[in-house]
Structure 1
Amino acid sequence: MTISKEGNNWKVDIRPDGHAGKRVIRRFRTKAEATRFEAHVIARAIENKPWNPKAIDSRRLSTLIEIWETEHSPTISSGWKYARILKSICEDLGDPVARQLTPMAISQWRSQRMKQTAVTTINQNLQALKGLFNWLSKRGHIDYPNPMQLIENIRTHESDRPFLSHEQIKTLLGYLPNHPHRDVATLIRVCLETGARWSEAQGLTRERIHPNRLIFTQTKSKKTRAVPINQELYDLILSNSGAPPFRHCETSARALLNSLLDLPKGISTHILRHTFASHFVMAGGNILTLQRILGHSSIQMTMRYAHLAPDHLEEATRLNPVSLGKNRESGTKAQ
């Protein structure tokens, strides 16, 4: 029996979904209340609805961003950067109730942004928002689907990654010994000769500098990696005027590169990393070795430089259908 007398109360003990289902126990002052509750539970079970549903999540997007910023942002590289992106998106969307954010609303926001912002920036924003909801879902902060799951990045043509020519490298190396700030000159050489990101080179400490290699720890992938160096670079890094700890001088380095080499607008110190990778491949370097040197988490990232390989270009002239046809004809005639 599901209703029974228990002292001065009436107890409801019921499994509305059968013996294997959830057990519901409640106590009431009167039998009439217990009977009405029992009927309510059974009716809800028939309708396949929970007898005690959770309150609807009415938190706004800004509240969820604050949770993400407190719990997760400190654990990832450039967490402050993504927090700024998320807050900007939240403001653009009018800080909606997060549960009510729909793919249509996001698509409309994306369309508006395309009128004033580069596609690559919009894609970065979309990934940040998608990552926010993925994290919230995994940590149990939300129990509804990710509104970003149906939103795809805007497809773009792959752009060329500019790199310095041999002439530009020669000009740069010729000027560096005369640069008044030794940190700038030293870090440019480190990035140019190891393919390191500027932040990785700038974060070098004395104990991570060895005569034949540098140990980078402050990496984007959070994995430590070692890159070989020659004696000349080792001596330069440890010279009295340019030894670590290095000051933050990326702005000065960017200004030097743009003024000395007349680079396209918007070029940053990352061109030094592209220059290392591009010349490494053009000289016949192995793409898997390059992946380890650059610290890419996937080979797909490194394959962006594969088209520069000399054998890649050679095969295009040797293995195209016209050349293959001529080779077959020559072989037939020879027989």
Structure 2
Amino acid sequence: MEDAPWLGQGKDKRRLSDLIHLWFERHGITLRDGEKRKSAMLWADECMGSPMATEFTAQLFTAYRAKRLDGHFARTKRVTQVSPRTMNLEHAYFLAVFNELKRLGEWDAPNPLENVRQFRTEESEMAYLTREQIDRLLEESRQSSAKDLEIIVRICLSTGARWGEAEKLKRSQITAGKVTFIKTKGKRNRTIPIDPALIAALPKKNGMLFTPCYYAFRSALERAGIELPAGQLTHVLRHTFASHFMMNGGNILVLQKILGHTDIKMTMRYAHFAPNHLEDALKFNPLVRK
């Protein structure tokens, strides 16, 4: 039998990065965001000095976390400071690595982060576009050198699709007046009716329909004079669909199915946009005299 230091046979000489790679090979590779998680953790590992696995402690992680929040470590020049919510994600990634390796018999010590509390965060503001902003964005999208930008924006606004879901559409996903989104965040395919005029405007080709144009989208928003809260860029069209759906009298349970939420609490964030939301407060409060 090969040496298995994590089972008490000698000193564990593995580095934290070794565990990250092991987790990815044994489990992370099956996750939709597995590559993203691995990349984030390997970058964090470098920031922490590439420690031995046994040296990865709550103290080391929380010191790194504090510096990350202060902007000491930045993965991109565009975003120099991260939010507590982002650090909660990194925290969750590392927790999951050690929990999974324990289940697999690859780590016998306690999870080094099991007693570290995540930051409490306030519910983030969900920006959505007004009708005037939608018109400006569509106009700027038409003027863009990215020829697929306008139709991707229209698909998102018409179906509540995430940016990546619309941008990666294939011809095979369009059938009988409907679009089926696959490999979704919720891990369930969802099929949504789509305007025939929008289908007619799709490129006449098989396979991938569009050329990626995320940066063109960001530029179009800037030219349209639309400012968004940090981290809302890729979700603003989805939020816009959901907000206007409810403002126009849509049913919250139908919206849940359209968006593909497995938990109704996620969809309830849009309930207050309904025209009659909580209007009973006006009729049944104690100051009302019958």
Is 2:283 the partner of 1:325?
Answer: no
Match of 1:97 among 42, 52, 70: 52
Sort the Cα spacing of 1:142 and 1:264 in 2 relative to 1 into closer, same or farther, 3 A: same
1:150 to 106, 115, 119: 115
Matches within 5 A, 1:60-71: 60-71=15-26
Structure with higher RCO (Cα < 8 A, 6+ apart): 2
Residue 194 of structure 2 is aligned with which of 229, 236, 261?
A: 229
Residue 36 of structure 1: aligned partner? none
Quick check: 121-130 or 279-288, which moved more? 279-288
Counterpart position of 1:85: 40
1:66, distance to aligned residue in structure 2 (A) = 1.8
Against the structure 1 CA distance between its residues 138 and 309, is the aligned structure 2 distance closer, same or farther, given a 3 Å change threshold? farther
Find the partner of 1:123 among 62, 71, 88: 88
CA shift, 1:191, in A, is: 0.5
User: TM-score normalised to the size of structure 2?
Assistant: 0.83
RMSD of aligned alpha carbons: 2.6
CA shift for structure 1 position 220: 1.6
Aligned residue for 1:145, secondary structure, equals coil
Task: Verify the 8 A CA contact 1:236 1:242 in the aligned structure 2.
Answer: no
Q: Between Structure 1 and Structure 2, which shows a larger proportion of strand residues?
A: 1
Say if 1:152 and 1:297 are closer, same or farther in 2 by CA, change over 3 A: farther
Q: Residues 144 and 207 (structure 1 numbering): CA distance in 2 closer, same or farther, change over 3 Å?
A: same
Percent identity, aligned pairs only, is: 37
CA separation in 2, counterparts of 1:285 and 1:193? 14
Residue 258 of structure 1 is matched in structure 2 by: 222
Deviations 1:61-110 (A, max 9, x none): 11111212333333222322211211122123223332343323333333
Question: Mapping of 1:101-112 within 5 angstroms?
Answer: 101-112=56-67
Which of 178, 200, 220 does residue 185 from structure 2 map onto?
220
* Matched position secondary structure for 1:226: strand
Q: Distance in 2 between matches of 1:243 and 1:282?
A: 36
Residue 290 of structure 1: which of 252, 255, 258 is its match? 255
Instruction: Find out whether 1:168 has 2:123 as its counterpart.
Output: no
Determine which of 150, 157, 160 is the counterpart of 1:185. Answer: 150
- Where structure 2 has 5 or more consecutive residues not aligned to the other structure, the ranges are 1-6, 72-81
- The one of 270, 284, 291 equivalent to 2:235 is 270
- Contact residue 182 and residue 242 of structure 1 kept, 8 A: no
Structure index of larger Rg? 1
